[in-house]
A and B are shown apart, each in its own frame.
Chain A
């Protein structure tokens, strides 16, 4: 993406772009489908981020912390989270958008795994000696690698423990399709290495990574359903 306006879309969404530039950007959007597409993607990510449940903690932890570090609990008033939330902005550049898309996928995949774990302990399989599931190496946009790899590893570990409850045909299908997605991820990474700023390649890689998390999540749900 070489469009000069692309980097300003985030400010536009946040309504902090100067009015004159707003008008110019809106005129540009009329003619630029690519920027409109990117703007839509940004809005989708923002909408999903805003839809995340953002509950306050059930217990106020500050008094304990204050005591622990030798402060009087009332001496340093806590900033209102409600007010901060109200001021919160969600601003992304295009590479950040790709990372945000992956992060949201990690959140939903991880949440599903936690639900599974929480509802039913996953016993260690005793019926088979499973081969290792395919593991994604070095995937993801900068800054997202570690969290994504950790989320994938968590789900793979859970699946490893639950695979004894899946029949061999299902395991074969899941492994085959994970390897198809892994190949797509590697190809997208390789293309992105040669063209790091490419919005399409960024989003395409994020999409394939999301798919891997989604398939792992579904595989875990299948294993959980059969326990």
Chain B
């Protein structure tokens, strides 16, 4: 019975097949990968070439289009959409990446160029990237480390994590925590509706920082010697600081205080949660 079922399944899905192709690429080329379901895993090497290995059904065909702009990789089903395809792609570290999927996990390791990664059901995990780095998932966690540039992280129903990141940073989810650590930024913004936000990073002179949640707590690092004007707003939460601050401009649900010259701006908002500031390294989320 089991053997019959396995045979029928194999007939329906086709036998497993491996595609393995290596193509040369010019400097500045971009890699685009579309994958309806499965995984896109990208790693880097020092060669000016792209190697595409794909595990897929024999009923599907892997198409690699090459142009001056770069490579475009996708699968075509024999009839209808392709089945699950697991890509493992090796690219030059400088190569810009544009990766997209639906039921797809996306993993990138060691890239140094621009990265756009977008999926619907699946996690996005990236190590590396510079310039514009945009990672999005509807139903999946988004994780970024070791990137610099203009960073845009978005999820709907999962958490967002970033660490060892520098540059302008935006992180937004609806239902999930946002954890930002080892951040070097003059412009950082994070907001969620139902989740906690943790920011452990720089507060630079002249910088602008905004962290906002509806139903969750905020933990934000503020060096005692920072030059920052802080605005705190909470409807139903409490404010705590690891060091003494002198409140000014106190109004209902909102108050301010200034540390040093106040040249940076920090806005902290939680409708229904507590807000806490501590020196860098001391804002670890209490489990």
Q: Which residues of A contact B (CB under 8 A)?
A: 1-3, 31-37, 40, 169-170, 173-174, 176-177, 180-181, 184, 187-188, 191, 195, 198-201, 204, 207-208, 211, 215, 218, 222, 226
Q: What is the size, in residues, of chain B's interface with A at 8 Å between Cβ atoms?
A: 35
Q: Is the interface of B mostly helix, strand, loop or mixed?
A: strand
Question: Which residues from chain A contact B269 at a C-beta distance below 8 Å?
Answer: 200, 204
Q: Check B175 against A176 for contact (C-beta < 8 Å).
A: yes
- Residues in B223-237 with C-beta less than 8 Å from chain A: 229-231, 233, 235
Q: Check A204 against B214 for contact (C-beta < 8 Å).
A: yes
Question: Which residues from chain A contact B17 at a C-beta distance below 8 Å?
Answer: none
Other-chain contact of A184, B230, B257, B271 (Cβ < 8 Å): B271
Q: Check B156 against A187 for contact (C-beta < 8 Å).
A: no
Interface check B138, CB cutoff 8 A: yes
Question: Which residues from chain B contact A174 at a C-beta distance below 8 Å?
Answer: 138, 156
Other-chain contact of B157, A1, A31, A176, A187 (Cβ < 8 Å): A176
Question: Which residues from chain B contact A3 at a C-beta distance below 8 Å?
Answer: 249, 251
Q: Check B235 against A33 for contact (C-beta < 8 Å).
A: no
- Given A33-B249, A180-B193: A200 touches B265 (CB 8 Å cut-off): no
Question: Which residues from chain B contact A199 at a C-beta distance below 8 Å?
Answer: 254
Interface check B88, CB cutoff 8 A: no
Interface check B212, CB cutoff 8 A: yes
Q: Check B231 against A1 for contact (C-beta < 8 Å).
A: no
Q: Check A34 against B156 for contact (C-beta < 8 Å).
A: no
Question: Which residues from chain A contact B185 at a C-beta distance below 8 Å?
Answer: none
| B266-280 interface bits toward A, Cβ cutoff 8 Å, 1 = contact, 0 = none | 010101100000000
Name the residue of chain B whose CB is nearest to the CB of A181: B193
Q: Check B248 against A37 for contact (C-beta < 8 Å).
A: no
- Given A36-B229, A195-B253: A169 touches B157 (CB 8 Å cut-off): no
Q: Check A184 against B215 for contact (C-beta < 8 Å).
A: yes
Name the residue of chain A whose CB is nearest to the CB of B255: A34
Q: Check B256 against A34 for contact (C-beta < 8 Å).
A: yes
Q: How many whole Å from B237's CB to the nearest CB in chain A?
A: 12
Interface check B139, CB cutoff 8 A: yes
Name the residue of chain A whose CB is nearest to the CB of B253: A200
20 extra A-B contacts, CB within 8 A, seeds A187-B272, A215-B174: A3-B249, A33-B265, A36-B229, A169-B139, A173-B157, A177-B174, A180-B175, A181-B174, A181-B193, A184-B271, A191-B235, A191-B271, A195-B252, A200-B233, A204-B214, A204-B235, A211-B193, A218-B138, A218-B156, A226-B102
